[in-house]
Structure 1
Amino acid sequence: MQRNRVLAFLLLAAQLLVQIPESCAKVPALIVFGDSTVDSGNNNQISTVLKSNFQPYGRDYFDGKATGRFSNGRIAPDFISEGLGLKNAVPAYLDPAYNIADFATGVCFASAGTGLDNATSAVLSVMPLWKEVEYYKEYQTRLRSYLGEEKANEIISEALYLISIGTNDFLENYYLLPRKLRKYSVNEYQNFLIGIAADFVTDIYKLGARKMSWSGLSPFGCLPLERTTQLFYGSKCIEEYNIVARDFNTKMEVKVYQLNRELDGIIVAGVFKSV
């Protein structure tokens, strides 16, 4: 599944760069928002049980140390950053081992366990998406102080923004609630999340972001955790979940098309098919 996520992001980055004029194709920084698929260690610095700072996490990382990445080694943004000629690993914004000089060419605001819905982040006491945006605003202030207004604004507008989020909203929130306590039908909840996603894109667009890649939901009914814990399905993929992911992706694809038409100068690329 991690390999598929890397491939999806690489395809996203390629799609996005194809749409950028050759004269502007150099990406000066990689800026990351989302959940555990792209968190490079922010959860290590907050009060939550959802951490990956222990073995076997990190066993294939550069020094064999668990970094807070939910992987045996590097994660998708790290490979993309290296592929763009930047650093070979994107640092977590809350990691005290790094400073604004490190963040100038790439930074991660993601928090494992979070979602588009604020209620999702509350389940495991992780950073909600709005908090990631608040840290991004703080980052901009620090970047302008470090590089000056003109150079910082150039990095902000020319950076590639990676966004991977949404699975936890269903698996840690919606499907954990008893049916009678669910405020929305599946269709209504998808629409609710799509609205939040659009607001998020608009918010960071207003802050200067222009080049974004949005990763669609993977077929999360085939995740090992779900196949192991949902005994009713006999360790098979849960097709109901996969259909929800597919339908969400279809709606998100339409929304991305609308945003590209409505927001002047924005380029949002997305992979909304399972890989």
Structure 2
Amino acid sequence: MARNTIPSWLFFTQILLPVVEIAAKVPAIIVFGDSSVDAGNNNKISTILKSNFEPYGRDFEGGLPTGRFSNGRIPPDFISEAFGIKPTVPAYLDPIYNITDFASGVCFASAGTGYDNATSDVLSVIPLWEELKYYKDYQKKLRAYFGEEKANDILSEALYLMSLGTNDFLENYYTFFSDRSPEFTVEEYQRFLAGIAGKFITELYSLGARKISLGGVPPMGCLPLERTTNLLSGSDCVEEYNDVAKDFNGKLLELVVKLNKELPGIKLVLSNPYYILLEIIEKPSSFGFENVEVACCATGMFEMGYMCDQFNPFTCAIADKYVFWDSFHPSEKTNQIVSDHVVKNFLAEFL
């Protein structure tokens, strides 16, 4: 089975505190990306990459496996709560919600996707540009329900979160069957992806978006799966992948500077998780964690999705002791820490 989706996350705080609600100027959170922010859209498409079964969601309200790749909530949920909007951001394809729910927050993300269409093809998930089509459909419904003026106000004042990119490298470029590695050098592929990110943000801007958070990629060589496959080096982090992540984040920063100059009225920020997440991974006890090399679910070495199921006898009892929930995705506690930090340190200008 191909390597599955992993998060393009956010950040951390020194201690775990409840995310503080703030009277915000932002009326809605609108989300694009991969499994780091997918609230369950993959439940409704034909793909093996799903998490709508136990033990996923065991610490979510009601113990429900919603399709979030976590034992509980994910960053957009905590960010939405911090902005005083609502405690969860629903998936657009979830039929139990309608436009009244989506008006204050909606998620178009699909686990396993990337900037590159070839990445979404690997596990038959929703390509980034199809996420944009769903967003256009959402705009029509919003205008039909609220009227042109109010809908446009919501769309222009909403905070748009983008979190993706890691799958392009670990699920596409670095796999044995990749068509991209013979076609591009690593640096060329980074620039190719950054170019797609720029086109996507420019298209969002043309559709009315003004407040946008572009997520960087994490130290992806330190994810439990990568450590597992690096046994000859003592299960250390794969430094080659970490270097690629740092370089790619640098190119995304260049893009942010460029677009802030070129697009009048846009407020675009880069949420670069790399160094702070590395500190969590290198000093887990400082943040209240006991385990970082392996994840909570199953053996914690290579499982996610269907390999992380309720019948595996090895799943841990207390997920809060683990930085990672499965071999790719952080635990709810990690999500809360990083979300609190990103709100206070990177999204403050949108308050």
TM-score normalised by structure 2 residue count: 0.71
The one-letter code of the counterpart of 2:242 is N
Q: What corresponds to 1:13 in structure 2?
A: none
Higher RCO (C-alpha 8 Å, min separation 6): 2
Could you say if the C-alpha distance between residues 52 and 99 of structure 1 is closer, same or farther in structure 2, counting changes exceeding 3 Å?
same
Q: What corresponds to 2:190 in structure 1?
A: 190
Q: Deviations over 1:67-111 (max 9, x none)?
A: 000000000000010111111000000000100110000000000
Question: Percent identity over the alignment?
Answer: 64
Query: 1:178: Cα distance to partner?
Result: 5.7
Q: After the TM superposition, which residues 1-275 of structure 1 pair with which residues of structure 2 at under 5 Å, given as runs?
A: 5=10, 7=12, 26-177=25-176, 182-274=182-274, 275=276
Hey, what's the Cα distance between the residues in 2 that align with 1:7 and 1:131?
31
Q: Deviations over 1:163-221 (max 9, x none)?
A: 00100000000000368962100000000000000000001000000000111100000
Q: Secondary structure at the match of 1:214?
A: strand
Hey, what's the Cα distance between the residues in 1 that align with 2:129 and 2:233?
35
| Aligned 8 A contact 1:205 1:266 in 2 | yes
Structure 2: gaps of 5 or more residues: 1-5, 14-21, 277-351
Hey, what's the Cα distance between the residues in 1 that align with 2:69 and 2:41?
11
The one-letter code of the counterpart of 1:7 is F
The one-letter code of the counterpart of 2:71 is N
Q: What corresponds to 1:12 in structure 2?
A: none
The one-letter code of the counterpart of 1:229 is T
| Aligned 8 A contact 2:112 2:120 in 1 | yes
Q: Secondary structure at the match of 1:240?
A: helix
Q: Secondary structure at the match of 1:63?
A: helix
| Aligned 8 A contact 1:42 1:94 in 2 | yes
Structure 1: gaps of 5 or more residues: 9-16
Q: Deviations over 1:231-273 (max 9, x none)?
A: 4444210000000000000111011000000001000011225
Hey, what's the Cα distance between the residues in 2 that align with 1:152 and 1:197?
25
| Aligned 8 A contact 1:115 1:128 in 2 | yes
Q: Point out the more displaced range, 228-237 or 110-119.
A: 228-237
Hey, what's the Cα distance between the residues in 2 that align with 1:82 and 1:37?
17
Q: Deviations over 1:21-75 (max 9, x none)?
A: x9xx610000000000000000000000000111111010001010000000000
Q: Secondary structure at the match of 1:88?
A: coil
The one-letter code of the counterpart of 2:108 is F
| Aligned 8 A contact 1:174 1:182 in 2 | no
| Aligned 8 A contact 2:210 2:266 in 1 | yes
The one-letter code of the counterpart of 1:77 is P
TM-score normalised by structure 1 residue count: 0.90
Q: Secondary structure at the match of 1:163?
A: strand
Hey, what's the Cα distance between the residues in 2 that align with 1:164 and 1:134?
17
Hey, what's the Cα distance between the residues in 2 that align with 1:27 and 1:179?
41
Task: Give the number of equivalent residue pairs.
Answer: 260
Could you say if the C-alpha distance between residues 80 and 234 of structure 1 is closer, same or farther in structure 2, counting changes exceeding 3 Å?
same
CA RMSD of aligned residues (A): 2.0
Q: What corresponds to 1:14 in structure 2?
A: none
Query: 1:230: Cα distance to partner?
Result: 4.1
Q: Secondary structure at the match of 2:242?
A: helix
The one-letter code of the counterpart of 1:26 is K
